[in-house]
Amino acid sequence: MQKNSLKTGTPESWSKRDEQLVWHPFSPLVGEGPIMIEKGEGPYLFTPDGRKIIDAISSWWVNIHGHGRKEIAEAIAAQAMKLEQVIFAGFTHEPAVKLAEGLQEILPKAHSKIFFSDNGSTSVEVGLKMALQFWHNIGQKRTRIVAMEGAYHGDTFGAMAVGDRGAFSEPFHPYLFEVDFIPYPAGHNDEEVIEAFRKLAKSGEIAAFIFEPLLQGSAGMRAYPPALLDILMQICQENDIITIADEVMTGFGRTGKIFATDYLDHAPDIICMSKGITGGFLPLGVTSCSGHIEDAFRTSDKSKTFYHGHSYTANPLACAAAVASLDILLSEQCTRDRLRIYHQHELFAERMRDHSKVSRVRHLGTVVAFEVNTPEQTGYMNKVRDTLYKEFMDRDVLLRPLGNVVYILPPYVISNEDLDKVYNAVEEVLEKI
């Protein structure tokens, strides 16, 4: 009988088989292969050959409480022994209801419904479809969407359409629906941004405005002030435009408050969430909406039903993980840790502002970022990225620059000592390049 190859192999053989079979995201198929990881604990990733890597970007921004968090693992294990999955059309379960109740406690008071999906992109797709169908259901023709230049909302087609037209989406530009983009509020152009938005709003054709609140992640951790966003939100309210906040990256404490929109005077009509929601254990997307949006769907008329869903909608294991993660997030210890990281980042940002090789240092909550000065234009394709990434990894620090933008976005459990190791690695690399 042939031996089951899935149960055998050395770390070296697994890496070789990965190279032969696995297609990794945001990675060319030719070049240096991936690093094998066999264990995670706290802020660390461990390799089979004994390396201990500091995960200073929370494994693509999801692992907010660190790897291997016992409370979340135990919640998943307990739920797995009871119910691992059930169709969510016509059925429900305790973890989903618990999570919805927990989210409602931290979401704007006007938000009345929670819609589950699978990830950040799908939470955005739900938000866009929900907004567009709202106008269809009430019999008004509004079909245009407004977004910001530089936006990134995901890699599915609707999410790509409302994102910046760039290298990520270039092969698909002919297939994306038309979107009105307003300039990114860079600080010197506030009046231009407001005027462009006001002109679009007055057309009476805008269905929704989607935005990453206060911090554009993939565009290079670009921060902009809440006062400007509040003005745009006010214009939306004056012109009955639905507001969609993409809190996929900024949610669950990343900017200091639970949600970045908590800094605003105006609450969005729809909020999209994912990434940190399960503490990095399992994929889950959530889209919440206000009662005003819900009302357009509250009817027995099946032509107005929201026909959207996924096979794993509200998966019980993912919901159980999210409930446990939310409990940790709202604990006093986690609140203190986020504040501690904020203060450590603040001190580091001050050092970087005087550094001759960097510019545009920004700091918001647990995120700090800056641009490495290079002859090349700023952007994701800046060639310095590969050099920086390799130098950081040589020092066992996982930082994944966005072109020439270096950012640090650690799990909340990282110690001050490990933060210093990350900061020191950054300064060493800057001196070397």
Q: Each residue of 356-378: pLDDT tens digit?
A: 999 999 999 999 999 999 988 77
Nearest-10 Cα torsion for 295, 301, 306, 310: 140
Report the pLDDT value the prediction gives residue 52, as an integer from 0 to 100.
Answer: 98
How far is Cα 250 from Cα 253, in angstroms, rounded to an integer? 7
- Under CATH, which architecture does the 5-68+332-432 domain have? Alpha-Beta Complex (3.90)
Q: Which CATH class is domain 71-329?
A: alpha beta
How far is Cα 81 from Cα 60, in angstroms, rounded to an integer? 29
Q: What are the residue ranges spanned by the domains of the chain?
A: 5-68+332-432, 71-329
Report the pLDDT value the prediction gives residue 7, as an integer from 0 to 100.
Answer: 61
- Each residue's pLDDT tens digit, 165-206: 988 899 999 999 999 999 999 999 999 999 999 999 999 999
How far is Cα 182 from Cα 385, in angstroms, rounded to an integer? 28
Report the pLDDT value the prediction gives residue 13, as an integer from 0 to 100.
Answer: 81
Counting as low any pLDDT under 70, the low residues of the chain are 1-8
Same CATH fold, 71-329 and 5-68+332-432?
A: no
How far is Cα 316 from Cα 387, in angstroms, rounded to an integer? 42
Report the pLDDT value the prediction gives residue 206, as an integer from 0 to 100.
Answer: 98
Answer whether 419's CB lies under 8 Å from 344's CB.
Answer: yes
Report the pLDDT value the prediction gives residue 3, as an integer from 0 to 100.
Answer: 52
Q: Which residues contact 397 (CB under 8 A, 6 or more apart)?
A: 53, 54, 56, 421, 422, 425
Residue 206 — φ and ψ, nearest 5°?
Answer: -80, 125
Average pLDDT along the chain: 95
And the tokens for 388?
Answer: 């920086």
Report the pLDDT value the prediction gives residue 166, as an integer from 0 to 100.
Answer: 87
